[in-house]
Chains A and B, each alone.
Chain A
Amino acid sequence: MPGIALLVFREVLEAALIITVVCAATRGVPRRGLFVGGGLILGVLGALLVALFAGALANAFSGVGQEVFNAGVLLAAVCMIGWHVLWMSSHGRVMAAEMKALGGAVQSGSSSLVMLLLVVALAVLREGSEVVLFLYGMVAGGAVGVLGGLALGVIAGSAVGFALYYGLLRIPLRHFFSATNAMLMLLAAGLAASAARYLVQANLLPVLTDPLWDSSRLLSNGSLAGQTLHILIGYDARPSGIMLVFYAVTLLILLGGMRRVSRPATSNSAPVTATIAQPQS
């Protein structure tokens, strides 16, 4: 059972960290729980489907279907998160002002709910399908304590997610959405780099230099800290050149997009902030 719990924990942790950052970034949006729950259910159903068709998937695209699928899921998540980051850079100030005025509630956050649902679903689907295949093998092999291991892993992984969430809530409101936006950007860049890794594995992209550096003595990919940083900021102990290219291009597109988006919005948001802040004074 400890082995089962550990593997489940690692997979759940990856999904939980992504969900946590996205949840923090959509703090105060009404009906948020509903959409997170919906994303979880969709993700679990998707994971079961992916596991069920894993054989067919593996044979697709002349044997690299798994890589193409994983890269597709990752890049879809990058697009969703990127969309939200750009959207927030024009609405973030308004949201923070509304939260101050309305005691933590936000009215203008509805357009990010679909993003939230899809990112949660994609994260659960990707990690969940591995858990399903693993557990299937365990049950077929007659292992004992499968359910207990599953429960323990899910609880422990989610607990880390909740701990991070409540840690993030301690960030002062003034800086809160800037902080979560920065975290989302690093998260998206890391996911894009992972997508590049899958495409290299499928021989669809060149590695450029591999490895670009080797910091596995300091912090290896297999360690818990390495894995956590891998999800949160895209850390890799032995990245290839193409991974860094995907990472940097994602960051540059998001930074460039933010500058473009936030320029016209600055003039718009100022009067809104003023009117909402009024009742407080």
Chain B
Amino acid sequence: MRGFFLAAGLMLAGMSVHAGEIPEYKLVISNHRYQPAELKVPAGIKFRLVVENRDASPEEFESTEFNREKIVMPNSSAQVYVGPLAAGRYKFFGDFHQDTAQGALLVE
């Protein structure tokens, strides 16, 4: 059991060292809209997407095109790891406000 925790700890430690090398991009949700509505990201690498929700209600950041979903609580941020993606346009939306919360990643 102790071996397991040791291994898990080492894994997490390795991960956090690794995390420093991953570039970060930011999206803001305000009035149930994404800003920017189109976000440019590089192709072929893994990156961290930080989604900040400035609204008073929860939102679910979701994309069926790059297969991610995460709830972002009111007035807080959430991070998801995305990619590596091939070049192209990948739509994402806010599941809880689909009529306004629409956006896309421009991967190039």
Contacts and interface: CB of A to CB of B under 8 A. Distances in A.
B19 interface: yes
Contacts of A141: 56-57
A16 B104 CA distance: 31
A211 B58 CA distance: 29
B interface, size bucket = 20 to 34
Contacts of A140: 56-57
A205 B79 CA distance: 15
B81 A66 contact: no
A interface, size bucket = 35 or more
A140 B55 CA distance: 11
Contacts of A62: 16
Most central of B15, B64, B80 by chain A CB within 10 Å: B64
A137 B59 contact: yes
B81 A203 contact: yes
Contact of B81 (A3, A7, A136, A200): A200
Given A141-B57, A197-B67, A236-B67, A134 B73 contact: no
A58 B70 CA distance: 9
A201 B80 contact: yes
A6 B73 CA distance: 21
Interface of B: 15-16, 19, 22, 46, 48, 56-60, 64-68, 70-74, 76, 78-81, 83-85, 95-96, 98-99
